[in-house]
A = this chain, B = another copy of it.
């Protein structure tokens, strides 16, 4: 026997909101069977009323031009927020809805990254469902995998390719040999990158998602400020070419590690061996890798953004709310959340790729090697190429496992050598 419908009120009919409205309409029958009850869109809020007709879902859906008005009036079982932005109306809607005891679903990673701890507290107090599967890695059900599928594991590491714009740019740079600036301009023309690309290419979007993954993996509060964030602007076509020669690909990665000292959560571009699966996660795809003490190495790959994949994740949350599969927002109850000391990136021990721009004259390699040796850093491989037009040549080195602080000390000294013509480029290597 079918139960009564589960009613959905949708705030925001942009790309993702439109996708959710379409999904609820097109998959009506399978959703009802899989959830044991119909899932019905009953209300929608957007500044543009025409959008509802455009989506072909206006029948029996009450329109509001203000999401807060909708919240006040609706008897929906869940409020779905797809307006976006860390603050403003999205945040107000969320707090008001939770305080009113409404189930809440959002795709808003910025809001969770900035206000997740506070929102978790309200949701727990009010005992309501709070879903945000779509906030990390789009269509990949990775929050569910971490919280439920891997529930029996202590997670020691979590890595993510979490930004499709960066991954697309790095993929095209590798495939075409073109420069960052050129590929970015093309991506902007094609609509794959924003007019102001900073949010994506400087790693901020990845950091938002990474601090959520870190909290879920390690049971700590969400702490955006704990992250050191590097984007991909500094990756040159030379680095891409040398990475290929050394058997690596370059990816912008979120890197989270739990050790006895504490937790290290960072975002940086790094080199990954081409023999590993994640190196082949190209273009608009996202990937999340976890290391659990029982399950070992796991990887989850899928589309990280876009109307339909994000709608898929939003609707997974709606289905969980409809069937009562709820969980505390941060996996464990807030009384069990533990603040962990932050291990700075300078304590990272790992391999490194270095690129120097040097004069092509005798003694340069010896000078650089001597400084590295004095800082206790040892060279794993070296590539030297012929003269460029300007008499400057690239000198490439990879380092055996070294402490980042020592590498940085060495690079600061090397930069001051007379035969070194530019600031050295350093890219971390991760063997995933």
Contacts and interface: CB of A to CB of B under 8 A. Distances in A.
Given A141-B149, A149-B133, A316-B149, A309 B333 contact: no
A313 B333 CA distance: 23
A308 B19 CA distance: 39
A295 B299 CA distance: 17
Nearest to A36: B333
A277 B153 CA distance: 25
Given A152-B27, A315-B151, A331-B34, A301 B303 contact: no
Contacts of A264: none
Say whether chain A's binding surface is mostly helix, strand, loop, or mixed.
mixed
Contact of A144 (B148, B277, B292, B297): B148
A8 interface: no
Interface string A15-48: 0000100010001001101111000000000000
A296 interface: yes
A interface, size bucket = 35 or more
Interface in A29-76: 30-31, 33-36
A340 interface: no
A26 B278 CA distance: 31
A33 B332 contact: yes
Nearest to A302: B298
Nearest to A315: B152
A382 interface: no
B312 A303 contact: no
A148 B324 CA distance: 12
A233 interface: no
A142 to B, nearest CB: 8
Interface string A151-167: 11110000000000000
A228 interface: no
B294 A311 contact: yes
Interface of A: 19, 23, 27, 30-31, 33-36, 133, 139-141, 144-145, 147-154, 219, 275-281, 285, 292-303, 308-309, 311-313, 315-316, 319-320, 323-325, 327, 331-333, 336
Given A30-B154, A152-B319, A277-B277, 6 more contacts: A33-B219, A139-B292, A139-B294, A140-B149, A141-B150, A323-B327
